[in-house]
A and B are shown apart, each in its own frame.
Chain A
Amino acid sequence: MLQKITESRWIGPALAVLGILLMIFGIYRGEVSVVFTKAINICMECIGIG
């Protein structure tokens, strides 16, 4: 069953569409502002200071 799903030529495009739908839902929820705020300020944890 699992092999049948993974071998299907539609599974990749279907997942890509799912990804787009999730992205749209995330944008609708306002998640982009969290990403943006994090990305435009120096992330102290990432650089090993905070």
Chain B
Amino acid sequence: MDNKKIKINEWPRHGIQLLWAALTNSHISGFVTGKIYTGKLKNTCVPGLNCYSCPGARGACPIGSLQAVIGSWNFKMAYYVVGFLIFMGALLGRLVCGFLCPFGLIQDLLNKIPFPKKIRTFRGDKLLRKLKYVIFLVFVIILPMFVVDIMGQGAPYFCKLICPAGTLEGGIPLVLLNKSMRSAVGWLYMWKNTILVITIILSIMIYRPFCKYICPLGAFYSVFNKVSVFRYRVDKEKCVHCGKCRNICQMEVDPTENPNSAECIRCGRCKKICPTQAIRCGFADCKK
């Protein structure tokens, strides 16, 4: 019963991910001119991690926006962005990670690159998954709120020191397209590119390492997995305890034990592999 060799067709999901990434990054001229979109759509956040300094981005990154409002001298509390995140989390939970996050898609595709020994789990894996909650609290909330300049403004510390999505989607294209920016490149740019390279290499070896260990957005949505309107359900009467769902899960979740685990990105692989259709999901018929 070696499920590692069983292939699941994930291209329907990747199709949705690609479509969403294309829609939310449809300012094509930005990739030619090196200028970002400045229209009214930027008033609204996108649900996934998508840098608003990406030349194609049509919406605002929720994590960047959260830090911007928390770090602003006159607001500190970010009801608009937190409300948006609660709304998305309450409706979908980490379905956002599985379907509506461009950086998740990039990691999905990177993991398809063949590598001699893919790492499923390792010692300390479970403990390391708590790191994303620490990053959310420290870099997204506490530092922007309390480490401020003389004007009372806090910097977006997660974006500045960690976020590889910003480097990939915004940093690299903008620096390539703008001569003035190329001359301003320094140690911070090198540091962020190093993080990006490490993330890319790890993504080939491990499934979604950024989502598992680092992503503050995934950390926030994970809290809602158990209570969201969209849920997974396992019919105990139909389940034959074959273990196929547990073995096929790349986030290392056992759906029979915890179908709405905080780590589940709701990709649907377990549902597809289940021989008795015991796993179901949806907005209705998920609570029995």
Binding site for B on A (CB under 8 A): 5-7, 9, 11-16, 18-27, 29, 31-32, 34-36, 38-40, 42-43, 45-50
A15 nearest CB across to chain B (Å): 4
B42 touching A40 by the CB < 8 A rule? yes
A34-B74 Cα distance, complex, nearest whole Å: 10
Answer whether A12 and B227 are a contact pair too, CB < 8 Å, given A31-B81, A35-B80: yes
Taking CB atoms and an 8 Å cut-off, the chain B residues in 140-164 that contact chain A are: 155-156, 159-160, 163
Enumerate chain A residues within 8 angstroms of B231, measured Cβ to Cβ: 12
B178 nearest CB across to chain A (Å): 9
A43 touching B156 by the CB < 8 A rule? yes
Classify the interface of chain B: helix, strand, loop or mixed.
helix
21 A-B interface contacts by CB (under 8 A): A15-B224, A19-B84, A19-B90, A20-B87, A22-B79, A25-B83, A26-B69, A26-B78, A26-B80, A31-B69, A31-B75, A31-B81, A34-B65, A35-B80, A39-B59, A39-B60, A46-B163, A47-B167, A47-B171, A47-B175, A50-B188
Enumerate chain B residues within 8 angstroms of A19, measured Cβ to Cβ: 83-90
A11 nearest CB across to chain B (Å): 5
Q: Of A18, A22, A39, A42, which contacts B80 at CB under 8 A?
A: A22
Answer whether A47 and B166 are a contact pair too, CB < 8 Å, given A12-B91, A32-B80, A42-B53: yes
A23 touching B83 by the CB < 8 A rule? yes
A46-B78 Cα distance, complex, nearest whole Å: 19
B155 touching A45 by the CB < 8 A rule? yes
B87 touching A43 by the CB < 8 A rule? no
For B, the interface residue count at a CB cutoff of 8 angstroms equals 60
Answer whether A45 and B160 are a contact pair too, CB < 8 Å, given A16-B87, A23-B83, A40-B36: yes
B226 touching A46 by the CB < 8 A rule? no
A14-B229 Cα distance, complex, nearest whole Å: 10
A46 touching B53 by the CB < 8 A rule? yes
B86 touching A36 by the CB < 8 A rule? no
Interface string of B24-49 (1 = CB under 8 A from A): 00000000000011100011010000
A22-B175 Cα distance, complex, nearest whole Å: 37
Enumerate chain A residues within 8 angstroms of B166, measured Cβ to Cβ: 43, 46-48
A14-B171 Cα distance, complex, nearest whole Å: 39
Enumerate chain A residues within 8 angstroms of B192, measured Cβ to Cβ: 48
A7-B170 Cα distance, complex, nearest whole Å: 41
Answer whether A13 and B229 are a contact pair too, CB < 8 Å, given A25-B79, A32-B80: yes
A48-B191 Cα distance, complex, nearest whole Å: 8
Answer whether A42 and B36 are a contact pair too, CB < 8 Å, given A29-B79, A34-B75: yes
A13-B287 Cα distance, complex, nearest whole Å: 13
Nearest chain-B residue to A43 (Cβ)? B53
